[in-house]
Structure 1
């Protein structure tokens, strides 16, 4: 009986200790995808480098959509509408930022490098937003 209580107590402590750690779990999950991307970046082959950024961006986008859905489930109806509008604006803003970055890189680096640099820019923007949403989700769970 004492062992059962001890195990139950440890489980409760463990659950409390890990509650609200979505951002940390997300970062851990993404390490594998980031290591895979690093292999592409290290190859020195331009197409591999671009594809590595695009593939990693896709993985971050999937994670962003997951946490976005988790946040939506937690919000009251009035806040859901605001949050959806905020995310739609963010998607439009990201598109504009990436296009501006591409145009800038075309002028500065030429067309061969512009795709790679713009893909990297999109990846950075997506990752930043995903981590921002993960933090927001953690706050909702406190």
Structure 2
């Protein structure tokens, strides 16, 4: 691979989720809505100094990968060198397979998680999406059932 200098707001902000970007803009006094397109959000962010959106993106990434990075550091084979087998400690799924508690503790601190209970819905049209949620790092206490909208 080659190193490439990332200097545009769009390149930096593309690492963050839309929800985070809307909150970021609002916290900096810029009106933003979840219905805004990514292009519009990027344009609004470009009004801010480079250091502000650069710092916001880096903070987002640090927070996003904090749990897996701590797991990686704590479980390295050697404190001076990283071995090939150590790299799997950066995987959210490998961390969940070994011990779901560190990630569960973090997600349950979020708004709405503290009182969440598994669904007991057994409708024929319901779809269990808990496996897909686990694939993306979300830990559930049981099946998460979704009912598709009627067309």
TM-score (norm 2): 0.27
Higher helix share: 1
TM-score (norm 1): 0.28
Q: Which has the higher contact order (CA 8 A, sep 6+)?
A: 1
